Amino acid sequence: MQSFPMFIRTTGREVVIVGGGEQAAQKARLALKTDACIRVVADELDPELAGLASKGRVEQVRGEVSPEVFRDSALVFVATGCPGADVAFHGLAKAAGALVNVVDRPELCDATTPSIVDRDPVVVAIGTEGTAPVLGRLIKTQIETLLHPRLGALSALAGRLRYAVQKSVPRDARRAFWAWVFKDEPGLLFRQGEEDTAIRLVKAAIKRGGAPTDAGKGHIALVGAGPGAKDLLTLRAVERLQEADIIFYDRLVDPAVLELARRDAERVFVGKEVGASFWPQEKICSLIVREAKKGRRVVRLKSGDPSIFGRAAEELRSAARAGVPTEVVPGVTAALAAAATTGTTLTERGATDTLVLATGRCRPGDAHPDWAHHMRPGTTLAIYMGVQSAASVAQSLGAHGLSSSSHVVVCADVSMEGEKRVETSIADLPCALARAGISERAIIFVSIPKSAARRRAA
């Protein structure tokens, strides 16, 4: 390393920023995240800095500048935008013994500003020693997805309660206590926004002298993996994958999504081939409950959203009967992803004001859904898992009175590299799917604009 990574204490100290323009304002935004007193050296300030000065957030220093302006400061940023002035102010700051950063002049920098992931008081800094700032920002984005937005609040709570823990919890029980706070029920409640409940739990545990005797109780999270692309997962979904001890995943979950899980998490494939029953639902329900009752954090990873044609209700009921706590983490469902990747919308003011999500596949022995029932003017119908039932869909809609030439859009492998889009008519739907080689993992869209009703009335 050419630079030693460390954090500079700012409490009771000054950060001095030289310059009154946009570059100086950028540094002020960064410094305002700390508790330092901020001094801005400039005769004129841009509107943002002037507003901060008027509110007393920063102190403006005008006129002649001497080394005394910089003495005993925690850090000096030089950002005048003028190469000659930058060098001059750098010399003055160094004469005062200050730690200096000159914007866009790495040869004049004692310290460089990293990309920061801020979960105050938890802070992650990413530096590339000035070689690749864009890469630093990309890494920052990845880390942002791994750290929950409420992590800082949980860490701050731990700091406030540390003395109480030292007083009431025996030394040899403290590690287990803090592991319970951060990894088990209190941490989970915090992440779900139930901070008051989490705090009451932690304080009660401190009063008892340690973590509950049932600490490490298992948990099941039904996590939506989205339509395929791993960058469409929610931050919470990534977090649950990082926390999981064991992951039960479907056949349609992309392998790249599983790479986001921690390396030592056990992975169990429970996919079901169409028409096969190697993993009947009852067996899956039994397995995830059994693993949770061992005290493990279980993720049931489902393509799309767990609550949309994902049989989540059966798994939730099984967990409830066994007394296992559960959580549902929503995912981007295929209809939304298809609209996004094709640049279309599922509703449109004045044209379509109703969106219906239907399935093309039901339990064995059940009749097909009544797709035609939903097709009224102003409606977009999205049929999931409808490829195998395409002929029945076309027949049902045609019998309802839709013209055989009505427009149909089919999106397959949505958000994936091999994504396909087929536009056809109701009459030609089964043949069009066969020609395109689409046999599954597709969604069928049929829309009837409101104008259709007006035409019929005329």
Q: Which residues are catalytic?
A: 250, 272
What are the distances in angstroms from CA 433 to CA 359, 384, 414?
Answer: 17, 14, 15
- In the chain the first and final C-alpha atoms are separated, in Å, by 78
Tokens of 40: 């801005």
Cα Rg for the chain, rounded, in angstroms?
29
Alpha-carbon distance 110 to 3, whole Å? 9
CA 98 to chain centre: 40
Q: Which residue shows structure tokens 């937005």?
A: 149
Cis peptide before 121 (omega within 30 of 0): yes
152 Cβ partners below 8 Å, 6+ apart?
118, 119, 120, 121, 122
Alpha-carbon distance 9 to 29, whole Å? 17
CB contact at 8 A, 326 and 319: yes
Alpha-carbon distance 334 to 265, whole Å? 27
**Treating both helix axes as pointing N-terminal to C-terminal, what angle do 390-399 and 429-436 enclose, rounded to 10 degrees?**
160
Nearest to 189 by CA among 153, 214, 228, 156: 153
391-417 core/surface letters (b: 16 or more CB in 10 A; e: else): eebbbbbeeeebeeebebbbbbbbbbe
CA 37 to chain centre: 34
Q: Count Cβ atoms below 10 Å from residue 215 Cβ, excluding itself.
A: 18
